[in-house]
Homo-oligomer: A and B are copies of this chain.
Amino acid sequence: MHNLAINAERLWATIMETAEIGRTEKGGIKRLTLTDLDGRVRDWFAARCREAGCTVTVDEMGNIFAVRPGRNPDLAPITCGSHLDTQPTGGKFDGILGVLAGLEVVRTLNDVGFETEAPIMVVDWTNEEGSRFAPAMLASGVFAGAFTRDFAYDRRDREGARFADELARIGYRGEERVGTRKIGAFFELHIEQGPILEAEEKTIGIVTDAQGQRWYEVTLTGRESHAGTTPMSLRRDALLGAARIAVAVDAIARANAPLAVGTVGLMEVRPNSRNVIPGEVFFTVDLRHPDDAVLKSMDAALSTAIAEVATAGMEARVEEIWHFPAVRFDAGCVAAVRKATEDGGYSHRDIVSGAGHDACYVARVAPTSMIFVPCEGGISHNEIENAKPEDLAAGANVLLHAMVARAGA
């Protein structure tokens, strides 16, 4: 079994083939969920899975399940997958790798007639990106019970189109009740979307945890006044207050190094005129840490920092708009990934996922872990997203061996 290896060229060619569906001028992909292009790539995927001998089923959320039978049909399938939808200016690998590497696993097993004890399953989760219908990871979230099906059905895009209607329109509103399908274990192969593996020249990231996330919206209100005639001592400068909080967010993250991150990504200044002291600033804060207790202490430190700024004649309105708890991936799945990595002789390091992935929700209902491979410059959600064929092949081989080990040879 150790000589079993995926076909690196076929995997790359398959990725490049789907990259034509929604290809952008800059070489990325625009394939928003439940658009015609999403329908086309789904049709393509289902057809290739059937050709590879899989049974293909679609659930109420449009999640596609392709099953390669095992010797024991009573065992829950050992599963991998990710998503085929993209950001508006997305790349060729984010999500797509995890689905097509699954197809490559099936094809590789077929090539040598390899039988597994448990069935092997590949999943395309609907609407991971969340850029057309918020929130992200919607369908894996419904599958795992984080949202109700009807909540998801009623999501609307900016033009007012309803999720359930668009799902039916492209022919992917299936019959199978969402969440009923059993999963024996779930593995998601994904590009890192960050710079660590490349910087340390590691091929495989063994993902042990996913960061907990807390997102905030803050409105700081001071007093708009003349930049020339208002003495420093009488100012209530909302931008200065926001700047102090941005510096504090950085300090809070660094105080919880190396795993914490904290970001002020969006800021709107009013009236935003060069000779007027800003009267109001709206900004966001994004705090992440893989340990919920640490994340909670970061939340408390943020509250303190905001309160300190708000004493200076400033009023702060703070809303926590999202809280995604940290995920500790299944020890058995992590061990299977580690063994497959070591057996393959790949350089590696343990890593924490900073982004959310379908695996984060699936982990609530099945033993789950993830495999990361490097991407160029750590860049993702960008048309210039890139990765090396040999790294993708390494990741797919780790996926193959972890799944086979788990499914039973």
Binding site for B on A (CB under 8 A): 192-196, 199, 211, 213, 215, 225-234, 237, 239-240, 242-244, 246-247, 250, 253-254, 257-258, 260-269, 272-278, 284, 286, 288, 353-356, 378-381
**Closest-CB distance, A189 to chain B (whole angstroms):** 16
Do A261 and B379 contact each other (CB < 8 Å), given the known contacts A266-B269, A274-B215, A274-B286? no
Contacts of A247 in B (CB 8 A): 240, 243-244, 247
A379 to chain B: closest residue by CB: B225
Contacts of A263 in B (CB 8 A): 227, 237, 275, 277
Contacts of A195 in B (CB 8 A): 225, 229-231, 234
**Closest-CB distance, A378 to chain B (whole angstroms):** 6
B239 contacts A265, C-beta separation under 8 Å: yes
A272 contacts B267, C-beta separation under 8 Å: yes
Contacts of A234 in B (CB 8 A): 195-196, 199, 378
Contacts of A226 in B (CB 8 A): 193-194, 354-355, 378, 380-381
A265 contacts B274, C-beta separation under 8 Å: yes
- In the assembled complex, 11 residue pairs joining A and B whose CB atoms fall closer than 8 Å, in A order, are A193-B228, A193-B229, A195-B234, A196-B229, A211-B228, A213-B228, A226-B354, A243-B264, A263-B275, A265-B273, A268-B272
In angstroms, Cα B88 to Cα A324, docked, is 46
The residue among A211, A243, A258, A380 with the most chain B CB atoms within 10 A of its own CB is A243
In angstroms, Cα B244 to Cα A354, docked, is 25
A227 contacts B261, C-beta separation under 8 Å: yes
Known: A195-B229, A215-B274; 7 extra A-B contacts, CB below 8 A, are: A226-B378, A228-B261, A231-B258, A232-B253, A240-B264, A243-B264, A265-B272
